[in-house]
């Protein structure tokens, strides 16, 4: 489903991703772990198409379609969803308005019909209840004044409503207490499906107790330096990233 | 020095110039070497942007009423909604008009004021005197839609009396040189003034919203929220002055101006001023000028919203806060639609 080959990404003058290759087949959850500064966030931003992240070489495709030539909204319409480590505040735009605008923009881009208001509201109410989000909160400007945990739950709500094919979770556990982590993880797990691929980017193994990966990759100095099964995450938790950082250096 | 005086006497030396501190960002003297000839009288057609909201109307076509008067004088009793229209259809000529409206004790007026310009390179002056008597209420919604090469100065002098309220919202897209000025004399004594505004200025246009409120006596409230966007090579000016005179204790005044610059060559000049001569007051002002949050744009894009739509959504939400403060439902609907339409031209 997601195929990344020899990806090189520069931010400003600095090359951050240096020849990264990764395959995430449909139906699988892959974790990317690594020390601070390894390029984890750069990888997620590059896939989402953030301005300033310049791909200098390599390729990334979703179901055989090149992602790198598309702008961020086109990638979203193709099914890419990035859950931000630090979700942005959108002043003056209620969550409901934002989400309906996004959903209909994606439908339009794919040549599908708009979702009518009643059907949209019904869907949102169900998803919000599952994530224990008070419906009233969706009438407030998106993320403005929300706690870290509330913002992350809003990310998962957006993910559930937009129903993407590739989910990229960037440090989704940061800033979450145990209860919020459980709710968020359940939301993510509910989206596991044979038609979806997930890339879980995290520094700590903790999140992977809740979202169980099929494969674990170690990212150090802009490359995947080791890959293995779920046991690799536990090994990293016990031993730290030192040996990979040294190997990369 | 005023445009009105210069037009009355056909004397360009009476025009305000950059040497006048209050006009340094909206110089007229440097723009007009001589006063253009008088505009022809015209019939005012249509019913203007507030057509569906009010049925009564006072209209000026090129500065004159249908009976040819440059001056009109009204007293309002009871509860009224009135369209006040200044329609220009002129080319390289000038016109001026003057309106005085008295809102009598306990009365309520919703004044829906529109500047509807056609033609080119004209110069228009409007002077408005508003008196809001004891316990009376005046809501003034101003929509300014002028050609890119027209010059317009609208000057309102507002006198409030104890217990009265004055709520104003100005919406403008500017002109070649344009000032919408409001000067309020505030009696305190439970009176309340609100002076909001939105500017959406593109191309090479200029828009100036200038306000001055003088709190002469204790216990008055003023609140102000001005927001706007400039793009291309446009220029917006906000000058807001709140004066709290000696002895006007208990005054509560808030001023906010927030501007968005959407292109590198656009400019916003802002001068918020609080002059406080009383001891016990609650006064605050906030003034920010910046660009759209590019990270928020990317965030919206990453959810599938195309960049152009994301920018329109965020700018619309930015200025929407001002329009949402309009209490009169019909006027608010007109204002919201107007802002949405003008934002389309700004992207």
ipTM higher than threshold 0.85:
yes
Cβ-based contacts under 8 A for chains A and B: 80
**Cβ–Cβ gap A73/B299 under 8 Å:** no
Of B293, B296, B305, Cβ closest to residue A101: B305
pLDDT truncated to tens, each residue of chain A (249 aa)? 999 999 999 999 999 999 999 999 999 999 999 988 899 999 999 999 999 999 999 999 999 999 999 999 999 999 999 999 999 999 999 999 999 999 999 999 999 999 999 999 999 999 999 888 999 999 999 999 999 889 999 999 999 999 999 999 999 888 888 888 998 899 999 999 999 999 999 988 889 999 999 999 999 999 999 999 999 988 888 888 888 875 544
Residues of chain B neighbouring A81 (CB-CB closer than 8 A): 302-303
Per-residue pLDDT tens digits for B36-82: 999 999 999 999 999 989 889 999 999 999 898 889 999 999 999 99
Range of the domain at B241: 36-291
**pTM, rounded to two decimals:** 0.86
Task: Give A 45-84 residues with CB within 8 A of chain B.
Answer: 48-51, 71-73, 75-77, 80-82, 84
Query: Cβ of A231: how many Cβ atoms within 10 Å?
Result: 9
Burial A9-26 (b: 16+ CB within 10 A, else e): bbbeeebbbbebebebee
User: Which chain A residues in 152-181 lie under 8 Å from chain B, judged by CB atoms?
Assistant: 158, 162
Domain count, chain B: 1
- Judge whether B223 lies within some domain: yes
Q: Closest to B299 (Cβ–Cβ): which among A84, A105, A106?
A: A84
With respect to residue B26, please indicate whether it lies within any of the assigned structural domains: no
Q: What is the DSSP letter of A153?
A: H
Question: What is the CATH number that goes with domain A2-248?
Answer: 3.40.50.300
Out of B294, B307, B317, closest to residue A73 by CB? B307
Of B295, B304, B320, the CB nearest to A76: B304
* Chain B residues bordering chain A (beta-carbon distance below 8 Å): 293-296, 298-307, 309-310, 313-314, 316-318, 320-321
Domain range summary for chain A, segments of one domain joined by + = 2-248
Cβ within 8 Å of residue B171, ≥6 positions away: B141, B142, B143, B144, B197, B198, B199, B200, B323, B335, B338, B339
B313: number of Cβ within 10 Å: 23
Domain-embedded: residue B23: no
Contact B306 A102 (CB under 8 A): no
Nearest-CA residue of chain B relative to A79?
A: B304
């Amino acid at each position: 489903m997601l195929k990344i080959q020899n990806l090189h990404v520069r931010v400003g003058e600095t090359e951050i991703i240096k020849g990264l290759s990764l395959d995430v087949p449909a139906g699988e959850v892959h974790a990317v772990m690594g020390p601070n500064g390894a390029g984890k966030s750069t990888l997620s931003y590059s896939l989402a198409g953030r301005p300033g992240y310049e791909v200098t070489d390599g390729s990334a495709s979703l179901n055989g379609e090149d992602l790198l030539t598309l702008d961020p909204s086109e990638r979203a319409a193709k099914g890419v969803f990035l859950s931000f480590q630090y979700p942005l505040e959108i002043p003056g735009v209620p969550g409901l308005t934002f989400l309906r605008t996004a959903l209909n923009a994606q439908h339009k881009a794919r040549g599908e019909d708009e979702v009518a208001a009643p059907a949209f509201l019904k869907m949102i109410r169900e998803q919000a209840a599952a994530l224990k989000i008070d419906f009233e909160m969706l009438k407030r400007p998106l993320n403005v004044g929300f706690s870290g945990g509330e913002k992350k739950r809003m990310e998962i709500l957006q993910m559930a409503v937009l129903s993407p094919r590739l989910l990229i979770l960037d440090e989704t556990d940061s800033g979450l207490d145990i209860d919020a982590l459980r709710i968020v993880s359940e939301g993510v797990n509910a989206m596991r499906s044979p038609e979806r691929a997930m890339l879980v980017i995290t520094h700590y193994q903790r999140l992977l107790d809740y979202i169980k990966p099929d494969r674990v990759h170690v990212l150090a100095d802009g490359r995947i330096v080791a890959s293995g099964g779920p046991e690799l995450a536990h090994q990293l938790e016990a031993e730290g990233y030192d040996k990979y950082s040294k190997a990369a250096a | 020095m005023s445009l009105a005086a210069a037009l009355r006497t056909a004397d360009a030396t009476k025009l305000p110039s950059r040497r006048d501190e209050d006009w340094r960002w909206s110089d007229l003297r440097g723009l007009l070497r001589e006063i253009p000839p008088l505009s022809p009288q015209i019939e005012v057609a249509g019913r203007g942007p507030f057509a569906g909201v009010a049925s009564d109307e006072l209209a000026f076509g090129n500065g004159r009423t249908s009976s040819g008067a440059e001056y009109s004088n009204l007293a309002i009793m009871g509860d009224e909604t009135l369209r006040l229209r200044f329609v220009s259809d002129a080319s390289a000529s000038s016109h001026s008009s003057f309106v005085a409206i008295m809102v009598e004790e306990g009365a309520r007026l919703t004044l829906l004021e529109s500047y509807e310009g056609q033609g080119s390179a004209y110069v228009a002056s409007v002077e408005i005197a508003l008196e809001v008597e004891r316990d009376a209420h005046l809501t003034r919604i101003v929509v300014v839609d002028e050609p890119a090469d027209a010059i317009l100065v609208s000057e309102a002098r507002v006198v409030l009396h104890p217990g009265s309220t004055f709520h104003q919202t100005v919406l403008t897209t500017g002109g070649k040189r344009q000032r919408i000025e409001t000067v309020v004399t505030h009696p305190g004594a439970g009176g309340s003034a609100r002076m909001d505004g939105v500017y959406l200025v593109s191309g090479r246009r200029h828009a100036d919203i200038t306000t001055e409120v003088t709190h002469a006596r204790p216990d008055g409230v003023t609140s102000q929220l001005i927001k706007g966007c400039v793009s291309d090579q446009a220029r917006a000016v906000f000058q807001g002055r709140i004066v709290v005179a000696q002895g006007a204790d208990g005054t509560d005044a808030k001023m906010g101006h927030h501007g968005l610059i959407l292109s590198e060559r656009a400019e916003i000049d802002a001068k918020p001023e609080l002059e406080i001569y009383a001891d016990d007051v609650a006064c605050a002002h906030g003034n920010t000028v910046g660009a759209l949050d590019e990270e928020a744009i990317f965030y919206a894009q990453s959810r599938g919203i195309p960049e152009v739509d994301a920018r329109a959504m965020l700018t619309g939400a930015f200025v929407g806060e001002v329009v949402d403060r309009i209490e009169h439902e019909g006027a608010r609907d007109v204002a919201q639609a107007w802002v949405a339409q003008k934002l389309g031209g700004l992207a």
